[in-house]
A and B are shown apart, each in its own frame.
Chain A
């Protein structure tokens, strides 16, 4: 069996921060951290190539970096792809996520990586791939590599794999049924949980309810203040210029778009559309203002009820989109709005 390993400039022994712009390259055999990976995999799996890419190069030229790396892999035989461990290194973690996601989509091989829970790459990519719970720094290299490879070996041999918590990776939000071994009837599990709950002891629910992250409604803005404010329009209802130039996904979106509405009073049929796949698009395509009410807001602007409308509207698709992705996209849009001095926004759904 064959494996290929992705690592950054530091673990590829190119250099530290000064080499973070290092362009992607592929080398035969194992370089740097890939030697540790080979040692852990043992003789049954060869790490045939090491891919090295600077974290900044990946961060600022993501599409180009991915394109080049995928072209390196074209025609190469490999059964599994590893990236990292990235520990707490944020850019490296995100890079591992980017490349694993692309490799898995293009080549259909299993991908594995490892990051510390504080690495932003975890929230961005945990639903898409197996990310092992890694240590904070390179001191955990041996342990983190062993976790990835132990699982990877069983995965490619088709052996039994345990739930995320038992294997030690971040759950992907994929829930499936398993038979308890040894068997325990539901009745016994109920009674056990009930006693613990009655006694105030800790217990483990079998169906964890995700925490709802509620934002308090902002206090009302006095009309005289609103009359001087620029208001921004945002939507998760998928309103985009006709043809969806930014290819925002119709469901489970990871992209958002920003569209200049200078001089536009009305979102017209055939000029704008919805790309949202979670509702009947007929009404929104016929008159996009029913989802993103630019026409009504322009009227308010003319009447002087609001000071103006922000130059761009921002759009993504809400259906199937994970809370983590939504929060990331919102954070990025909020930065834009803040730097433009926008202090009021209307967010519409569907």
Chain B
């Protein structure tokens, strides 16, 4: 499989008459773009904003980030989700780089939504403060979940994907600034030199804990709660096969942008053929019942063993209950003789003294850790808020609260906030960007 990502670097985003990319400036016809958003009659209000790194802007509740793309020759950017089923990861896909489409709730937030500060002290807590964004702030008539802490956010997330496809399509006839080629020969057809290198599989545990459909990450549109671990080509992940869900506390979440740009996959590609033989991705999941956890771990270890993997990297999208899946998977792989490194965040509590993972085992002796979901963060007021600041405290965001006997409310009358890292949008960057680690004091 060979994927060519044709990169178009976006230096600035402005509103104008015609949606086009010229000299690195993305001009957006606001009316046309909003019409794409409003194709879904469930969207009741929608507005667009441009936000740049360094802007004095705070966004909350942020629901999703998507890289705008265009599939050369047509076809959906997200097969099985925004269009028909087709093979992702093969061919040419255009990407608008250094920017994302951000989806922000106009009023209603939920457990899974997060916060982004584009400047100041808060900017360091999320990767997304470094990107330019076309921000969709919108509301829906999904009243069945308006007062629910857990929201599917379906209309808004799908609107974001449509908008990303709409923007991406303006590159249809353009020549990219540069390209990235991702190619792996079939496992049994690799050269002796590549086969002589230590082999590695990347095991991904995307969020799939909700038994009810509509909240979990999707794999070609299929709910990951209903799947067993399977072998995938890494290009499929980079090319829209996986989309983010709407369930996990936000700092632990992997956005669709995260899947499209998965740093750990790209890092393994950089080593492939030089120091490692990258066999592929074992797409696992996260489960609720112990038997499901054990079954998934068994499948992962079996696939790794059948492939003859010397080593594995396991990354989990979540914390708490999913730590049991994570540790079970690490242990199953080690027991199968596969040398394994884990990649996760931790929950050591506001005082840092809690057990880092719910389930731990001495066999998981190599773990890279990217943060504490419960670290308290206090931030000054921000000039502009997109969305609704009150939602951080009011709507059950995983890192916010209405009132606390010691700390007071998350959102203070002057617009300053106190929150747990939990609500930082994709803050722990378990996909690999994180320069945070955990240390003992």
Which A positions have Cβ atoms within 8 angstroms of B? 127, 161, 163-165, 171-180, 183-191, 193-195, 197-198, 203, 205-207, 209-212
The answer to whether A175 and B437 touch (CB under 8 A), given A190-B343, A190-B432, A198-B310, is no
Question: Are A186's CB and B441's CB within 8 A?
Answer: no
**Chain B residues, CB < 8 A from A207:** 342, 344, 346, 356-357, 367, 369, 438
Known: A198-B198, A209-B364. A177 touches B436 (CB 8 A): yes
Query: Within the complex, which residue of B342, B366, B372 is in contact with A175, where a contact is CB–CB below 8 Å?
Result: B372
Are A193 and B437 in contact, with the CB atoms below 8 A?
A: no
- On whether the beta carbons of B271 and A177 are closer than 8 Å, the reply is no
- Bound together, the chains give a CA A206 to CA B348 distance in angstroms of 14
A-B contact count (CB 8 A): 138
A-B contact pairs, 8 of them (CB 8 A): A161-B441, A174-B351, A174-B441, A179-B436, A186-B433, A186-B434, A197-B341, A207-B356
Partner of A197, one of B366, B433, B440: B366
A163 to B352, CA, bound (A): 13
| A209 near B435: Cβ-Cβ < 8 Å | no
Contact of B366 among A127, A171, A180, A205 (CB under 8 A): A205
Q: A194-B339, A211-B362 are in contact. Are A176 and B438 (CB under 8 A)?
A: yes
A211 to B362, CA, bound (A): 7
> Closest A-chain residue to B373, C-beta based?
A177
Residues of B within 8 A of A212 (CB): 362
B193 CB within 8 Å of chain A = no
B129 CB, nearest partner CB in chain A, Å? 14
Partner of B429, one of A186, A191, A193: A186
CB pair B267 A187 closer than 8 Å: yes
B362→A177 contact, CB < 8 A: no
Q: Collect the chain A residues with CB atoms within 8 Å of residue B267's CB.
A: 185, 187-188, 190-191
Which B residues touch A172, using CB under 8 A?
A: 353, 440-441
Complex CA gap A200/B371 in Å reads 27
Point out residues on B near A: beta carbons under 8 Å. 124, 198, 200, 263-264, 266-268, 271, 275, 310-311, 313, 339, 341-344, 346, 348, 351-353, 356-357, 360-362, 364-372, 375, 421, 429-430, 432-441
* Docked CA distance A206–B371 (Å): 11
**Distance A131 CA – B362 CA, assembled complex (angstroms):** 27
With A194-B311, A198-B198 in contact, do A178 and B437 touch (Cβ < 8 Å)?
yes
A206 touches B352 (CB 8 A): no
- Interface secondary structure of B, over-half rule: mixed
The 8 closest A-B pairs by CB, nearest first: A171-B440, A163-B439, A183-B435, A187-B267, A174-B352, A187-B432, A207-B367, A206-B369
List chain A residues, Cβ under 8 A from B439. 163-165, 175-176, 178
The residues of A that contact B362 with a CB separation of less than 8 Å are: 209, 211-212
Q: Which single member of A163, A177, A179, A185 contacts B263 (CB below 8 Å)? A: A185
Additional A-B contacts beyond A174-B352, A178-B439, A185-B432 (18; CB < 8 A): A161-B441, A163-B439, A164-B441, A165-B439, A172-B441, A175-B356, A175-B439, A176-B438, A177-B371, A177-B375, A184-B435, A185-B433, A186-B368, A186-B432, A186-B434, A206-B437, A207-B346, A209-B361
A127: B residues at CB distance < 8 A: 353
B268, B360, B370, B439, most chain A CB atoms within 10 A: B439
Distance between A192 CB and nearest chain B CB, rounded to angstroms: 9
Instruction: Say which residue of A161, A175, A183, A190 sits within 8 Å of B341 (CB atoms).
Output: A190
Alpha-carbon gap, A70 to B435, bound state (A): 45
A189 touches B352 (CB 8 A): no
**The residue from B263, B339, B438, B440 contacting A164, defined by CB atoms under 8 A apart:** B440
Q: How far does the alpha carbon of A193 sit from the alpha carbon of B372 in the complex, in Å?
A: 21
Assess A209 versus B365: contact at CB under 8 Å? Given A179-B435, A180-B435, A187-B264.
Answer: yes
A189 close to B437 (CB less than 8 A)? yes
B438 in contact with A206 (CB, 8 Å)? yes
A193 to B200, CA, bound (A): 13
Closest Cβ of chain B: how far from A172's Cβ, in Å?
6
Closest to A206 in B: B369
Task: Decide yes or no: A176 and B368 within 8 Å by CB, A185-B263, A190-B432 being known contacts.
Answer: no
With A and B bound together, what is the CA distance between A205 and B343 in angstroms?
11
A194 to B277, CA, bound (A): 13
Which residues of A lie under 8 Å from residue B124 when comparing CB positions?
179
Contacts of B433 in A (CB 8 A): 185-187
Given contact pairs A207-B346, A209-B360, A174 touches B369 in the complex (Cβ within 8 A): no
Select which of B271, B436, B440 is within 8 A of A191 by beta carbon. Answer: B271
A161 to B440, CA, bound (A): 12
Chain A residues near B365: list those with CB within 8 A.
205, 209
Measured in the bound complex, the distance between the Cα atoms of B271 and A203 in whole Å is 19
Task: Assess the A186–B357 pair: CB atoms within 8 A.
Answer: no
Given known A164-B440, A193-B341, contact A175–B313 (CB-CB < 8 A)? no
A126 → chain B, closest Cβ, in Å? 11
* Complex Cα–Cα for A173 and B263 (A): 31
